[in-house]
Amino acid sequence: MKFLSIRELRSSTGQLKKMLSDEEKIVLTTNGKPAALMIEVSENTLEYVLTDFRVAKARRAIRQLQEHSVNTGLETLTLDEINSEIAAARREKAGT
């Protein structure tokens, strides 16, 4: 995997397609920190790649929610307690 700064990208846009075909993915950085991911796609693979990206994003969100529940002790709530919290949130929302 290649790392490329935004500044380097500006000066090498003509070589970008070749870099992507050689590397498959490039991490764009700003101030030395990852900022974006570029991957090679084609007309035939675009929809598949976008679907894979959406699935990965959803899985990451679920994992973060699970980690948050463990870190805050919420994973021990009973079903009755969960339903009570949902009802309270709905009442609060209806009142605002």
Q: What is the pLDDT along the chain (96 residues), one digit of tens a residue?
A: 899 999 999 998 888 888 888 888 999 999 999 999 999 999 999 999 999 999 999 999 999 999 999 999 888 999 999 999 999 999 999 986
According to the model, what pLDDT value does residue 95 have?
83
Predicted local distance difference test score (pLDDT) of residue 96: 65
CB contact set of 45 (below 8 Å; sequence gap of 6+): none
CA 84 to chain centre: 31
- CATH, domain 2-39, list 3.10.20.30, 3.40.1620.10, 3.40.50.360, 3.40.630.30: 3.40.1620.10
Q: Give me the pLDDT at residue 80, please.
A: 95
pLDDT at site 23: 86
